[in-house]
Amino acid sequence: MDLIKSIFTKTVVGLDIGVSGIKAVELSSDKNTSLVAYNRISLPWDTISPDGVIKNEAAIVSALKKLFSGKTFSTRTVSVAVFGNSVLSKPILMPPMKPKDIEEQIYWEAEQYIPFNIDECQIDFAVVGNTVTKVESGTQSAMEVLLVAAKKDYLQSFSNLIESAGLNPKVLDYQPFAIGNAFEFNYGDELGEEAQGDTDVIVDFGAGSTKLSFIEKKNVIYTNKVSACGLGCTMLLAERLGESIDQAEQIKLTEPDSPLIHPIITDYITLLTTEVQKNIDVFFSGSPDRHLRKVFYCGGGMKTPGLIDQLCTIYPEQTEQLNPIRHLRFPKTGTNKNLIRDLSCLGTVAVGLALRKSGDQS
């Protein structure tokens, strides 16, 4: 894929930059993939807006320099996920053709679907399946393609930001693909047993947004996001209580059952889970040949009190936490149990990015 720059080092540090902070993961490059290093650092709440606009580059650079200041990581070569409104994806249908022909045709197709100037965009795609569509004369075969577009100036400025922290951004990945990469690595043994049309949904409850990735077999076939998120709940509490964001976050996590706090949190998680359910329902109503297998959840927002209980109420038999370290090996001694717990909750994107190796293509 063109968005993924070719890399020549054996390992990269997966770097997940988000609204609440930065997570970094390094994995070994041998067959028995093991954890080499993991660390994270918080960012001030106003560094990145919930819709992905970087408002304080200096804070990110400072945090990255601090994160890599010691000897935790063996390399400064990183794989990082791009985010925000300058990057988008769109599922489209194309006539069956050879991969070489797709590359020639995709730009013409993109002009119909991408609201950016195509000449100013980096276009990428993944063929995710085949289907049959209805036409006036009957039916015809078509390829299902996930189209991805990112503004070139955004990609360049984002790379420059990472480089200004003394790091080498060899891989620029799309966040849902990183999530799919972590999912395939940890649940690939289950994917081969799926029936035709079985589709898994991964709900990433992030601080700045809630992202949904729909996966069939090993392919991310559709992505979407809802604006309701962990930070949204915290901001609502801060407004209602007249507290700072930091104080409201602490109250959310430590006093969720108090008579004043509980109704506010309950109303918000009802809003959030309803939006998630609507997105899932809309997808499957438009894809009658597909059916829901499981709903996996991940991300720091899942710590919001009552959120996962509400999700399990909607999908009682299908809800499962995505464990991004399920198939990772750990050192026999000296592994911090709190670190493992933290990584299993927050590390999905960073692990997916760290799994990128020399010569990878998606």
In the predicted structure, residue 271 carries a pLDDT above the cut 80:
yes
Do the bridges between strand 210-216 and strand 198-205 make them parallel or antiparallel, or are there none, so unpaired? antiparallel
Task: Categorize the per-residue pLDDT at 5 as very low, low, confident or very high, splitting at 50, 70 and 90.
Answer: very low
Is pLDDT of 40 > 90? yes
Q: Would 113 be classed as within a structural domain?
A: yes
**Contact status, residue 209 vs residue 223, Cβ threshold 8 Å:** no
Structure confidence at residue 255 (pLDDT): 94
pLDDT tier at 31, thresholds 50, 70, 90 = confident
Q: What pLDDT was estimated at residue 352?
A: 96
DSSP H or E segment with residue 210 = strand 210-216
DSSP track, 20-87: SEEEEEEE-SSSS-BEEEEEEEE--TTSB-TTS-B--HHHHHHHHHHHTSSSS-S--EEEEEE-STTE
User: How, if at all, do strands 35-42 and 21-27 pair?
Assistant: antiparallel
User: What tens digit of pLDDT does each residue of 195-242 get?
Assistant: 677 899 999 999 889 999 999 988 899 999 998 998 899 999 999 999
pLDDT at 189: 83
Contact 50, 232 (CB under 8 A): yes
**DSSP output for 110-171:** HHHH-SS-GGGEEEEEEEEEEEEEEETTEEEEEEEEEEEEEEHHHHHHHHHHHHTTT-EEEE
The mean per-residue pLDDT over the stretch 263-286 comes to 96
214 is a domain residue: yes
The residue type of 322 is L
What pLDDT does residue 138 have? 63
Residue 44 has pLDDT above 60, yes or no: yes
Q: Is residue 128 part of a domain?
A: yes
Residues 6 or more apart in contact with residue 208 via CB below 8 angstroms: 18, 19, 20, 48, 49, 50, 51, 52, 229, 231
Residue 353's SS3 state is helix
Helices and strands (H, E) in the chain, number of each type? 10, 13
Q: Is residue 168 part of a domain?
A: yes
In a domain? residue 250: no
Please give the pLDDT value at position 126.
87
What are 121-179's pLDDT values in tens digits? 999 888 888 876 765 666 778 888 999 999 999 999 999 999 999 999 999 999 999 99
Residue at 361 is within a domain: no
CATH code of the domain covering residue 203: 3.30.420.380
**The pLDDT value given to residue 358:** 39
Domain count, the chain: 1
Over residues 15-28, the mean pLDDT reads 94
Residue 4 has pLDDT above 60, yes or no: no
The band of 9, judged by pLDDT with boundaries at 50, 70 and 90, is very low
Backbone region of residue 189 per phi and psi (left: phi > 0; alpha: psi in -120 to 50; beta: other values): alpha
Element spanning 185, H or E: helix 175-191
CA distances from 131 to 84, 143, 220 (A): 30, 6, 16
- What pLDDT score was predicted for residue 268? 95
Q: Is residue 278 part of a domain?
A: yes
Domain containing 120 equals: 13-235+262-354
Task: Report the candidate in 352, 236, 230 with the shortest Cα–Cα distance to residue 303.
Answer: 230
The tokens describing 178, both together, are: 């990183």
The amino acid at 74: S
Is residue 311 assigned to a domain?
yes
